[in-house]
């Protein structure tokens, strides 16, 4: 199974890539984990088009990890901060997906998976801009999936719960006596994601992986 990771320098992406055989990466940083790295200085449409022109193979899966979190409140609306969050969490993932589709680098019944967040489904104070952007991403992914269904391209979102990384530790408003016990277990959630992307029957789904005693995922 041939996989292409976008934003593969993220902590989550590298943990998943380690457990897969063939993964290539489009990112701002090179990593020895990947069989091939395509370095992009920034994710403008022009730069992405140039990178995609260098790819002369097809993939079974494209997994898009781009994401950025910062504490934010609607009350303290800041246009620059909002635009930055919306650009990284929504515009770039959608641009990557549509450019990849038009470049035809996916195999028949290939899948595009957007890594999203359970923040998209909640109105938690302090996560305003991030939640809005991820909610928009999930909605856009659903529309894109319906548009691409006849072409045999599967579109899904995978919304993750709290992860013990830089982003997870910075989440505001999580009031738990033992926060560590509510972080997703690295080995378990990476296995779940791999299981999902290998399943060629999953299409037009909002998949949620969050903490529970058994760490089960739900598919809506």
Q: Hey, what domains does the chain have and what are their CATH numbers?
A: 2-219 (3.40.50.720)
* Beta bridge partners of residue 28, listed in sequence order: none
* Residue 84 scores a pLDDT above 90: yes
Q: CA torsion angle for 27, 114, 108, 201 (degrees, to 10)?
A: 140
More confident residue, 172 or 72: 72
Distance CA 51, CA 205 (A): 29
pLDDT of residue 165: 56
**Buried-state track 75-84, b at ≥16 Cβ within 10 A, e below 16:** eeeeeeebee
Closest CA to 167 of 28, 67, 94: 67
Q: What is the pLDDT of residues 162-211, one digit of tens each?
A: 776 555 555 544 444 445 446 666 778 889 999 999 999 999 999 998 76
- pTM more than 0.85: yes
Res. 126 pLDDT band, cuts 50 70 90: confident
Sign of the alpha-carbon torsion through 177, 179, 180, 183: positive
Least confident stretch, 55-64, 145-154, 169-178: 169-178
* Residue 27: partners with Cβ closer than 8 Å, 6 or more residues away: 5, 6, 7, 8, 9, 37, 38, 39, 40
> Strand pairing of 154-160 and 206-209?
parallel
Average pLDDT for residues 150-159, to the nearest whole number? 96
């Amino acid at each position: 199974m041939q996989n292409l990771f976008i934003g593969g320098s993220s902590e989550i992406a590298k943990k998943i890539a380690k457990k897969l055989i063939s993964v290539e990466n489009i990112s701002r940083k090179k990593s020895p984990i990947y069989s091939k790295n395509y370095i992009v200085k920034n994710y403008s449409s022009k730069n992405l088009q140039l990178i995609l022109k260098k790819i002369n193979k097809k993939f079974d899966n494209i997994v898009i990890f781009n994401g950025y979190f910062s504490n934010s409140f609607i009350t303290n609306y800041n246009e620059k901060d909002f635009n930055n969050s919306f650009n990284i969490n929504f515009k770039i993932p959608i641009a990557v997906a549509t450019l990849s589709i038009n470049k035809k680098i996916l195999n028949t019944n290939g899948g595009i998976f957007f890594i999203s967040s359970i923040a998209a489904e909640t109105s938690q104070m302090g996560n305003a801009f991030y939640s809005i952007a991820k909610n928009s991403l999930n909605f856009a992914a659903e529309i894109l999936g319906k548009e691409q269904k006849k072409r045999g391209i599967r579109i899904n979102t995978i919304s993750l719960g709290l992860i013990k990384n830089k982003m997870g530790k910075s989440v505001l408003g999580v009031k738990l006596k033992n926060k560590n016990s509510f972080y997703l277990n690295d080995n378990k959630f990476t296995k779940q994601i791999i299981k999902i992307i290998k399943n060629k029957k999953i299409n037009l789904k909002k998949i949620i992986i969050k903490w529970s005693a058994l760490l089960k995922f739900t598919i809506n």
